[in-house]
Chain A
Amino acid sequence: MRSLKAASILFMALSLLTLPGCWSSNEIEDLAIYSGVAIDEGDLSEVERGLEEKGGSYSKQNKITATVQIVPLKAGTKDEVKGKTSPYTNISGAGDSLLEIFRQFSLRLNKPIIGHHLKIIVISSQLLKERNIKQVADFMLRDNDIRPNVKIFVSQGEAMQILTTKLPDEVPSFFINDIVKNQFRSSKIMDPVQMTNLDALMYSKQSFILQTIVQAKRQLAFSGAGIIKGETGKWIGHLTEEDVECINWLTNASSSGIIKANNEEGDSIAYEVKGMKTRIRVHTEQDGRLIFQVRVESKGRISEDWSVEGNPSLSSYQKEAEKLFEQKLSMMMDHLLASMQDRYKVDVAKFCEIVRIQKPQLWKKVKSNWDETFSESTVNLDIHVNVTDYGSTTK
């Protein structure tokens, strides 16, 4: 009896060795992890053209070109790899379904690609001119590997060029992902639009902006933002760096950055923003038009002054400087408002949120054609700049 029990326990213990395990496990060394995706207009790359000539094709239309940036797992030590190989591999394919293109890469790579560590997606503005962003991003929103915190950018020029930028020992997608963190230094960097946000924005058909990345001589930079019109989901224009800065300040997304003004002699004087707070109230006029009362209050210091005579420690001088900064800031704001209300007729500075929260009943009525309503409304600016100090030198 006892031996029977012992035998059964032994059997169970042994079967434990074979039973557990992960059903569908994949060794990480056998996976090609991609960290960035670039989406362009459908154009065959040289490689693909060559492949097609030899019959390497399938039934498709070349509507988009997708490039994935694969980060290889370094087998050797860091020094060994350094200098010898590029820290990333890019592979492009054209087609009319992102998933199909991705699966097609399985025919050209020795490892399956996997999106768990995707950080950024760059979409060319050229492509978005013709195609709704919903079509382009749909796969990424549905896929279970790709996380909702992937950041989305647009590029001037080819998106795949952004991912091939030559940076010593840097993977461009990680590089771009890190630039976003510099927001505390410059409010020209907007809060990145993530997949979650994109989902909500497309659902509510709001117009929005995506940070633009430009590149020249294989160096890249964040520069302004591309406007995506809510109704069509298409790229309709570009906002300058200063416009983006103003949007950040208007929406209280960031309170960093500088304002540089020129005095009468043309000398530069720079104001470092330490705090920026915007309050917006909305009223309706009798004819139904909306009036936004925007009050911007800022605190900061004079961090650079080129004028030889000026003395930033004098409060009279500070008052004058404040006036200069206020003028400059309202000039910048006016530029932004002109772009939004006259040129593109969209609201991308979240004025809709103000109406939604302050006048929910009205919001229901104007929601469907908000961009037009906003373009016809009046925005009154009330800007207060307050210089609190002048750095470590008094003169």
Chain B
Amino acid sequence: MAVSKSFLGPNDKITTSQAAIFLNNAMLGAGILTLPRSVSESVKTPDSWISVLVGGLIAILVVVLMLKLSLRFPGKTVFQYTSAVIGRYPGMIWCLILVFYYIVIAGFEIRAMAEVTMYYLLEGTPIWAITIPFIWLGAYLVIGGIDAIARVSQIVFPISLCILILSYLLSLRLFELDNLRPILGDGLGPVIHGLKSTVLVYSGCEVVMTLTAQLENPKQALKAVLTGVGIPIGLYLFTVIMVIGGVSVDSAVTSTWPTIDLVRSFEVTGFLFERFEFLLMVIWLMQMFCNYSCFFYNSSLGLSQLFKLPYKAVIFALVPVIFLVTMIPQNMNELFGLGDAIGYLSILLFLLFPVFLSLLALMRFGGGGGARHEKS
């Protein structure tokens, strides 16, 4: 096949806007469907949205930190520079944890997507019939490298964004401001308590550490990541406000998929689609697919760079591994448990790891590498 020559594999570059969309898609996945419940469970007051906002600000700080760290090593991904900072073997272990994390989160996304699909759309279809095509398709996309994923994201994201916003706007008929009052009635306590579940929904932003190496124009990196993080923060905030305002905290807590339930709570008679949840779910499947592809890409890139293995071979080798991860949770509770575990692992990788690396890098290499100020 002549086409394969034009595939540059892991060495291709992406533009600033592609980077922003790539980062955005790494964060926007199944989380949006359960976010209002998970946040409300820990916040217990209508202040969840503040929690989401504060969590978002933390995410921005962390992402900027990761970016600054990565910019010290131009053209190198986290898998390549970690060893340089903390030594070969410890670096290897760190990176393996990171790869493991990406594999698990990829499997989790696929499984969550399959569960929603099986429950609401394709009752009776076996789970493998839903997951395997997605995993294969993802493999095909990932072979194309970051550029291909970014291009697909560029096509998918505007569509899913439109449908999501449209669904929310239609749900305005249920919206009651009183459901969101009082603001800070119990003080800041619940908001801080809720942070642990909001930080979870921002997991995925770790891809910045590989993304930066592939930027066509690293000078605009800050702009790219800020946009990339900003969009999910905005959407999450909007989601929580609409769901809590539409169905109240009590209902959001008791619903397994509150965002879908919000859209299921009304019918638009006489409109092109009476029932928007089907449209939303079908479209959101594409979004989850992009999301999963980001993680698949990162895990295969990591393995191939760590062990100097051929990129394509790693992808095919990972296909069964991801399928196995997908099948690990035996039921819904285990699935949500896995989601929480990913969240905790992400706090480790996403907060401690970059801080630790930055400090070490600062100590070992001083201010070299472009960014002098590391106190972000």
Contact = CB atoms under 8 A, between A and B. Distances in A.
A196 B265 contact: yes
Given A144-B123, A149-B265, A196 B178 contact: no
Contacts of B120: 144
B321 to A, nearest CB: 26
Interface string B108-138: 0000000000011011111001000000000
B182 A357 contact: yes
Interface stretch (A80-88, A301-309, A358-366, A368-376): A358-366
Interface string A185-218: 0000000001011011101100000000000000
Contacts of B126: 23
Nearest to B124: A24
A197 B186 contact: no
B124 A197 contact: no
* Most chain B CB neighbours (cut-off 10 Å) among A144, A148, A149, A196: A196
A356 interface: yes
Q: Name the interface size band of chain B.
A: 20 to 34
A361 B247 contact: no
A360 B250 contact: no
Given A200-B250, A201-B250, A360 B185 contact: yes
A357 B122 CA distance: 42
A149 B261 CA distance: 9
Interface string A338-369: 00000000000000010011101101100000
B253 interface: yes
A195 to B, nearest CB: 8
Contacts of B255: 196, 199
A323 interface: no
Contacts of A201: 250
Given A23-B125, A24-B122, A149-B264, A197 B182 contact: no
B181 interface: yes
Given A200-B248, A201-B250, A203-B253, A148 B186 contact: no
A299 interface: no
Contacts of B181: 357
A62 B186 CA distance: 47
Contact of A357 (B124, B125, B178, B186): B178
A24 B126 CA distance: 9
A147 interface: yes
Interface centre among B122, B123, B129, B265 (most CB of A within 10 A): B265
A361 B261 contact: no
Nearest to B260: A148
B266 A24 contact: no
B248 A23 contact: no
A361 B178 CA distance: 17
Contacts of B261: 148, 196
Interface in A147-198: 147-149, 194, 196-197
A23 B123 CA distance: 9
B135 to A, nearest CB: 17
Contacts of B122: 22-24
B267 interface: yes
Contact of A360 (B129, B182, B249, B265): B182
Contacts of A203: 250-251, 253-254
Nearest to B261: A148
Contacts of A360: 45, 182, 185-186
Nearest to A197: B251
Contacts of A363: 185
Contacts of A197: 251
A147 B261 CA distance: 8
A22 B254 CA distance: 31
A194 B129 contact: no
B251 A199 contact: yes
A347 to B, nearest CB: 16
B129 A23 contact: yes
Interface string A211-255: 000000000000000000000000000000000000000000000
A199 B253 CA distance: 10
Nearest to A198: B251
A364 B185 CA distance: 10
Contact of A356 (B123, B182, B247, B254): B182
Nearest to B174: A196
B121 to A, nearest CB: 10
Contact of B186 (A144, A147, A353, A364): A364
Nearest to B248: A200
Contact of A200 (B182, B185, B251, B267): B251
B247 A196 contact: yes
Contacts of A24: 122-125
A200 B124 contact: no
Interface in A235-288: none
Contact of A358 (B123, B182, B247, B250): B182
Contacts of A361: 185-186
Contacts of B275: 147
A307 to B, nearest CB: 42
Contacts of B264: 147-149
A311 B247 CA distance: 49
Interface in B240-287: 247-251, 253-255, 261, 264-267, 275
A148 B275 CA distance: 12
A362 to B, nearest CB: 10
Nearest to B126: A23
Interface of B: 45, 119-120, 122-126, 129, 178, 181-182, 185-186, 247-251, 253-255, 261, 264-267, 275
Given A23-B125, A203-B251, 17 more contacts: A23-B124, A24-B122, A144-B119, A144-B123, A148-B265, A196-B251, A196-B261, A196-B265, A200-B247, A200-B250, A201-B250, A203-B253, A356-B182, A357-B181, A357-B185, A358-B182, A361-B186
Interface of A: 22-24, 144, 147-149, 194, 196-197, 199-201, 203-204, 353, 356-358, 360-361, 363-364
20 contacts: A24-B124, A144-B119, A147-B267, A147-B275, A148-B264, A149-B264, A196-B255, A196-B265, A197-B251, A199-B250, A199-B255, A200-B248, A200-B254, A203-B251, A203-B253, A203-B254, A356-B185, A357-B182, A360-B186, A364-B186
